[in-house]
């Protein structure tokens, strides 16, 4: 049986007990580490050094209950109501191949999640746009398109270097084990009344075997960009 684990390393890879590696894009290496300024009305500190796009929580172990694991033997998806500020509060699913879409994702540009203060910077690859509309549960997993309960404002770094890597590991596991399910829960982390999430907590665990499990926190940051999480406004770090 293949075991998917998440080591906290300079280069992110999913390692199997079979000895082969499924490599996905690397994070910022130690030599390329950047200072990322965090500026918010509610921030305790103005500057932190992030060594990775994510951190492992609870020794990579999830907090799913036995009842949730039992429920997860059948595919489902749940998207929680927006809060009083219009912010996403979370999404929970048991992902099976029956939920995974065959069609390409449609346009989602009419959804404006909280903190959407889009800005273009030359330092950001692939067009320079700071923000993406980030699905809490990826379209490739459940086929959910423009559901406002499932979309937050996230930096390109969060979307590509953080969340995408987790989503791809679940997708790959299910492609290898098409009769199985993965419990997948994503909870955005908003500090106080901030409109932009500081990050997202992601838990994933395969239901029918011990083949996949991880529990991580992905940072909603962008190297060399100062972000005000109260509003979503930003500027290049000076």
| pLDDT tens string 193-222 | 999 999 999 999 999 999 999 999 999 999
Q: CA-CA distance, 97 to 208, in Å (whole number)?
A: 14
CATH code of the domain occupying 13-236: 3.40.570.10
Does position 4 have pLDDT exceeding 80, yes or no? no
Does position 32 have pLDDT exceeding 50, yes or no? no
> Residue range 30-52: average pLDDT?
41
Largest CA distance in the chain: 51
Does position 98 have pLDDT exceeding 50, yes or no? yes
> Residue range 118-124: average pLDDT?
95
Q: CA-CA distance, 81 to 46, in Å (whole number)?
A: 31
Q: CA-CA distance, 84 to 80, in Å (whole number)?
A: 13
Mean residue pLDDT of the chain comes to 84
Instruction: Tell me the whole-structure pTM to 2 decimals.
Output: 0.82
pLDDT at 216: 98
């Amino acid at each position: 049986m293949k075991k998917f684990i998440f080591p906290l390393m300079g280069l992110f890879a999913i390692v199997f007990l079979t000895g082969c590696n499924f490599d996905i894009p690397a994070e910022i290496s130690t030599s390329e580490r950047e200072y990322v300024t965090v500026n918010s009305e509610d921030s305790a500190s103005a500057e932190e050094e992030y060594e990775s796009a994510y951190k492992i929580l609870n020794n990579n172990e999830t907090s799913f209950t036995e009842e949730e694991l039992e429920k997860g033997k059948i595919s489902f998806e749940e998207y929680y109501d927006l809060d009083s500020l219009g912010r996403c509060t979370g999404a929970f699913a048991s992902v099976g191949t029956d939920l995974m879409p065959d069609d390409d994702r449609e346009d989602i540009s009419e959804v404006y999640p909280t903190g959407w203060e889009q800005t273009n910077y030359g330092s950001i690859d692939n067009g320079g746009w700071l923000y993406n509309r980030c699905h809490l549960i990826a379209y490739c997993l459940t086929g959910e398109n423009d559901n406002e309960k499932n979309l937050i404002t996230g930096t390109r770094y969060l979307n590509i270097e953080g969340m995408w890597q987790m989503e791809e590991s679940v997708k790959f596991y299910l492609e290898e084990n098409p009769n199985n399910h993965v419990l997948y829960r994503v909870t955005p982390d908003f500090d106080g009344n901030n409109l932009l999430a500081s990050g997202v907590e992601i838990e994933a665990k395969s239901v029918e075997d011990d083949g996949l499990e991880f529990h991580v926190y992905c940072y909603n940051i962008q190297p060399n960009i100062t972000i005000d999480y109260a509003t979503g406004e930003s500027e290049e770090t000076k």
